[in-house]
Amino acid sequence: MARPSQAKENLIKAAYDLIWETSYGATSVDDICARAGVRKGSFYHFFESKAHLTIATLDAGRAKHFPELNEIFSPLVPPLERFVRFAGYVLFYQQERLALTGHVCGCALSSLGSEVGSMDELIRTHIIDIFSSHLRYYESAIRDAAREGLIDGTDAPLKAKMIQHYVQGALTHARVLNDLTPVHDMARSMLHILGAKPDLIPALS
């Protein structure tokens, strides 16, 4: 019968944190074990390799964040407000991670995908799948906003991609500059990209 253990979850959390803070390549199996408080034998009991653990961190991240994104992008939320709330959600996690690490960490998926994407097909396709989900949140909100006459509805898919690319570029910049200004500008910029009229924009908190 199974012997209860937190080792697996601790390894996933440790890998998630370390890879996001620095990079995939700079994060060794020993580093992850040290952060998780387990020994290498345990690591390899649960995971075939660092790459397999990384896939588990992506799945854990999805499990953690998608319920929250479902709330933010719920069809019950006024469409443009979804983007404002989303900007708040991004800022919240960036500030939290900044407090823990001392520097802005940006988008974990984007950094990981960029670094590892040409060398590990499994990690790459997992990230692409998550990116596709994000894109559908944006598209749905854009269509709903157009239906309410809040914005011009032409080319919703392209606008969704603009939003997605802009958000990730802003997070990458925040990380490189070690400065949250791009994240603070996010709500306003997304609404600008969508062509929302200023008087129709919900309060930017």
Which residues contact a second copy (rule: CB under 8 A)?
21-26, 103, 105-106, 110-111, 113-119, 124, 127-128, 131, 158-159, 161-162, 164-170, 172-173, 175-178, 182, 185, 188-189, 192-193, 195
Do 123 and 129 touch, CB atoms closer than 8 A? no
Q: CB of residue 107 vs DNA: minimum separation in angstroms?
A: 23
How many angstroms separate the CA atoms of 121 and 112, rounded? 12
Distance CA 137, CA 34 (A): 37
Do the beta carbons of residue 59 and residue 12 sit within 8 Å?
A: no
With CB under 5 to 8 Å by kind, the binding choice for 100 among DNA, a second copy, none is none
Residue 131 binds which entry of DNA, a second copy, none, CB below 5-8 Å type-dependent? a second copy
Instruction: Report in angstroms the alpha-carbon separations of 179 from 103, 113, 165, 169, 184.
Output: 8, 22, 19, 13, 10
**Helices and strands of the chain, counted as H and E runs:** 10, 0
Taking the complex as a whole, how short is the minimal distance between the CB of residue 101 and a second copy, in angstroms? 8
- When asked if residue 95 is in the footprint of DNA (CB under 7 A), the reply is no
CB closer to DNA, 5 vs 132: 5
- Residue 45's binding partner among a second copy, DNA, none (Cβ under 5 to 8 angstroms by kind) is DNA
By CB under 7 A, the residues from 17 to 46 that bind DNA are: 28-30, 38-42, 44-46
**CB of 130 vs DNA, minimal distance in Å:** 23
Task: Classify burial at 182, counting beta carbons within 10 Å of its beta carbon; exposed 0-12, middle 13-18, buried 19 or more.
Answer: buried
Point out which residues bind DNA (CB under 7 A).
1-8, 28-30, 38-42, 44-46, 49-50
